């Protein structure tokens, strides 16, 4: 439902009981006025000669008057007495209808205006006049319980109105009570309510509300249009949030939500782009070593088919190529993770000693065919560090992989996890390979390889792997340094600050 319609309905819903209440109140006041007027009419008429006539000839006493006297000017209006009026002789009365019925003259239309009828009753509420109706029980009961007058509605086929039973001040004789009844042939005078005025009033209220709601509706429509436009622009432009009311608050809330959504959209777009690049690079980078591996396997199959044992050199090269492929995919995955931003990096307490052991064990198959010894030592107690274990392990693995891959046959690689100070850990990867020149060493320490450049395989082995090691170290605030080892090769050190052991050991 539209806002205007809802507001109009609300006004109607609020006005209906209000108007009903006013109508009831007005009706009640009118009924009281009418009852009082009838009572006063009865007493005045009885005191101004009516009592005398009644007591003189109670069997024929009755008064019928028309038009009706009104409360404020009782007696001021002309009263026509049809019977028992100014004449002392009782005029022939129209037949009084039985209880609940209208007088014959009223019922037959002899009187077109309101008619007031009056009968007198003795103390026991019986009338000497056989035509007098019996007063309603509820009125009798009220007066018996001590009241001086009681009124009730009167409804009959010929008309309706009010009827009042009044106790006279003299309280005795054949006229101790007077029952007076006013009959309106055209009903509705008492119950009449200014329906059309009420309708006009409600319509005016609805109109005012609809008019007042106009500016609110216009602002809401504008906000709706702004929101639609902003959504079309992927929440790049904010909506107008001027103002200090609830609609402005809504606009501000939308801008805040839009900003959040924009962040997520950007993040998704970045990840999508990273994924696309990753897939493209992976496909490109993996195909070459895979082709080499296929070549080695094909050669070995040929040797087997000819009944010759596979030569160790080819088998070793195949193993190296497979190892390279595995680390390449892990490295590309690490690059994708680093490029995707910090949200993709998952820091958790990690045991550095276990990482070192895993990395070294992973390189045994690569080292052993070339008689390269690879060993590690870790402290007896666990060494904890908050890191992304996948990235950190890959960084260490790249450095160890280089130390093995570019070592000479029969060479050595040592990986030492030490605690050089009360707060630090240090992973030193030492080899006795050919090492690097001073110039190359300076470059290793300072040069920031671009990923695209570094992705290319190069004989120094300082491409993608070291680039990742650098980026991972930097992300984890770990210092990565390169120096010549005392054995002639290279010594690479990761040095960072240990974390406290988690309260519940994960391992």
Partner 1 sequence: MANVTHRILLVEDDASLGRQIVKSMEEAGFEPTWLTDGDAAMRESPRAFALIVLDLMLPGAYGLDILKHIRAAGNSVPVLILSARNETRDKVRALELGADDFVTKPFFPEELIARIRARIRRPSLEAGGLVRAGGLEVDLAARSVKVDGETVELTRVEFDLLAALARRPGAAVARSWLADNVLDPDREGTERTLDVHVSRLRRKLGASGKCVATVWGVGYRLAEASE
Identify which range of 46-54, 96-104, 260-268, 375-383 contacts partner 1 by CB under 8 A.
Answer: 375-383
Give CA 96 to chain center in angstroms.
Answer: 72
Task: Confirm if 294 and 317 have CB atoms less than 8 A apart.
Answer: no
- Does 206 help bind partner 1 (rule: CB under 8 A)? no
Q: Provide, rounded to whole angstroms, the least separation between the CB of residue 373 and partner 1.
A: 6
- Does 330 help bind partner 1 (rule: CB under 8 A)? yes
Distance CA 328, CA 322 (A): 10
Q: Where are the strands (E) in 73-148, listed by range? A: 80-81, 115-121
List 63, 395, 430, 478, residue binding partner 1 (CB under 8 A) = 430
Q: Provide, rounded to whole angstroms, the least separation between the CB of residue 277 and partner 1.
A: 18
Comparison of 115 and 378: residue with beta carbon closer to partner 1: 378
- Does 432 help bind partner 1 (rule: CB under 8 A)? yes
Identify which range of 201-209, 279-287, 368-376, 449-457 contacts partner 1 by CB under 8 A.
Answer: 368-376
- Does 391 help bind partner 1 (rule: CB under 8 A)? yes
Q: Provide, rounded to whole angstroms, the least separation between the CB of residue 363 and partner 1.
A: 9
- Does 356 help bind partner 1 (rule: CB under 8 A)? no
Distance CA 306, CA 366 (A): 27
Distance CA 348, CA 20 (A): 71
36-58 b/e (C-beta count within 10 Å ≥ 16 → b)? ebbbbbbbebbeeebbebbeebb
Number of shown-chain residues binding partner 1 (CB under 8 A): 41
- Does 348 help bind partner 1 (rule: CB under 8 A)? yes
- Does 364 help bind partner 1 (rule: CB under 8 A)? yes
Task: Confirm if 473 and 396 have CB atoms less than 8 A apart.
Answer: no
Comparison of 81 and 418: residue with beta carbon closer to partner 1: 418
- Does 376 help bind partner 1 (rule: CB under 8 A)? yes
84: closest CA among 75, 71, 94?
94
- Does 301 help bind partner 1 (rule: CB under 8 A)? no
Identify which range of 12-20, 100-108, 356-364, 452-460 contacts partner 1 by CB under 8 A.
Answer: 356-364
Tokens for 19? 């108007």
CA distances from 471 to 1, 353, 475 (A): 58, 21, 6
Helix or strand or coil: residue 234? coil
Q: Restricting to residues 91-110, which ones interact with partner 1 according to CB under 8 A?
A: none
Residue 31, classified by CB atoms within 10 Å of its CB into exposed (0-12), middle (13-18) or buried (19+), is: middle
Identify which range of 22-30, 233-241, 252-260, 323-331 contacts partner 1 by CB under 8 A.
Answer: 323-331
CA distances from 501 to 351, 421, 426 (A): 9, 17, 17
Identify which range of 1-9, 71-79, 121-129, 315-323 contacts partner 1 by CB under 8 A.
Answer: 315-323
381-404 b/e (C-beta count within 10 Å ≥ 16 → b)? eebbbbbbbbbbbbbbbbbbbbbb
List 346, 437, 452, 458, residue binding partner 1 (CB under 8 A) = 346
Tokens for 447? 């040069």
List 487, 495, 499, 501, residue binding partner 1 (CB under 8 A) = 487
Comparison of 345 and 440: residue with beta carbon closer to partner 1: 345
- Does 368 help bind partner 1 (rule: CB under 8 A)? yes
Q: Give the x-and-dash track for 441-480 against partner 1 (CB under 8 A).
A: ----------------------------------------
Identify which range of 47-55, 124-132, 249-257, 372-380 contacts partner 1 by CB under 8 A.
Answer: 372-380
- Does 314 help bind partner 1 (rule: CB under 8 A)? no
471: closest CA among 311, 310, 308, 345?
345
- Does 325 help bind partner 1 (rule: CB under 8 A)? yes
List 55, 57, 241, 354, residue binding partner 1 (CB under 8 A) = 354
- Does 212 help bind partner 1 (rule: CB under 8 A)? no
- Does 218 help bind partner 1 (rule: CB under 8 A)? no
Task: List beta partners, residue 429.
Answer: 415, 492
Tokens 């439902």, located at residue = 1
List 375, 452, 453, 460, residue binding partner 1 (CB under 8 A) = 375
411-450 b/e (C-beta count within 10 Å ≥ 16 → b)? bbbbbbbbeeeeeebbbbbbbbbebbeeeeeeebeeeebe
Q: Where on the chain is the footprint of partner 1 (CB under 8 A)?
A: 319, 322-323, 325-326, 330, 333, 345-346, 348, 354, 357-358, 361-362, 364-365, 368, 373, 375-380, 388-391, 412-414, 416-418, 430, 432, 485, 487, 506-507
């Amino acid at each position: 439902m539209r806002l205007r319609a809802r507001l109009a309905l609300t006004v109607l819903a609020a006005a209906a009981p209000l108007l009903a209440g006013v109508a009831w109140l007005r009706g009640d006041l009118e009924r009281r006025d009418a009852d009082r007027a009838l009572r006063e009419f009865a007493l005045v008429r009885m005191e101004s000669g009516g009592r005398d006539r009644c007591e003189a000839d109670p069997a024929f006493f009755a008064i019928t008057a028309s038009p009706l006297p009104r409360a404020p000017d009782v007696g001021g209006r002309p009263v026509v007495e049809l019977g028992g009026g100014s004449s002392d002789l009782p005029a022939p009365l129209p037949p009084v209808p039985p209880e609940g019925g209208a007088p014959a003259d009223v019922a037959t239309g002899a009187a077109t205006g309101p008619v007031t009828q009056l009968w007198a009753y003795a103390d026991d509420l019986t009338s000497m006049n056989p035509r007098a109706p019996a007063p309603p029980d509820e009125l009798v009961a009220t007066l018996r319980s001590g009241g001086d007058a009681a009124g009730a509605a009167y409804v009959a086929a010929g008309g309706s109105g009010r009827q009042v039973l009044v106790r006279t001040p003299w309280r005795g004789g054949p006229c101790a009570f007077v029952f007076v009844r006013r009959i309106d042939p055209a009903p509705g005078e008492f119950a009449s309510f200014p329906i059309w005025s009420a309708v006009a009033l409600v319509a005016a209220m609805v109109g005012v509300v609809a008019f007042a709601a106009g500016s609110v509706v216009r602002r809401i429509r504008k906000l709706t249009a702004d929101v639609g436009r902003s959504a079309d622009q992927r929440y790049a432009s904010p909506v107008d949030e001027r103002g200090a009311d609830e609609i402005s608050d809504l606009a501000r809330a939308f801008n805040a939500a839009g900003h959040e959504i924009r962040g997520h959209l950007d993040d998704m777009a970045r990840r999508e782009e990273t994924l696309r690049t990753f897939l493209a690079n992976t496909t490109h980078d993996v195909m070459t070593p895979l082709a080499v591996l296929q070549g080695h396997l094909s050669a070995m199959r040929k040797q087997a088919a000819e009944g010759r044992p596979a030569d160790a050199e080819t088998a070793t090269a195949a193993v190296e190529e497979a190892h390279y492929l595995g680390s390449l995919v892990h490295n590309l995955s690490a690059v994708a993770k680093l490029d995707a931003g910090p949200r993709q990096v998952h820091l958790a307490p990690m045991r550095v000693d276990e990482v070192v052991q895993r990395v070294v064990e992973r390189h045994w198959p690569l080292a052993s065919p070339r008689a390269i010894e690879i060993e590690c030592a870790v402290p007896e107690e666990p060494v904890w560090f908050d890191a992304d274990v996948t990235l950190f392990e890959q960084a260490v693995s790249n450095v160890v992989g280089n130390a093995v891959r570019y070592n000479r046959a029969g060479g050595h690689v040592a990986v030492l996890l030490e605690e050089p100070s009360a707060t630090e850990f240090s992973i030193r990867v030492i080899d006795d390979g050919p090492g690097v020149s001073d110039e190359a060493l300076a470059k290793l320490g300072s040069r920031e390889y671009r990923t695209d450049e570094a992705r290319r395989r190069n004989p120094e082995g300082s491409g993608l792997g070291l680039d990742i090691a650098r980026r991972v170290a930097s992300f984890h605030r770990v210092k990565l340094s390169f120096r010549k080892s005392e054995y002639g090769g290279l010594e690479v050190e990761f040095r960072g600050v240990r974390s406290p052991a988690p309260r519940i050991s994960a391992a």
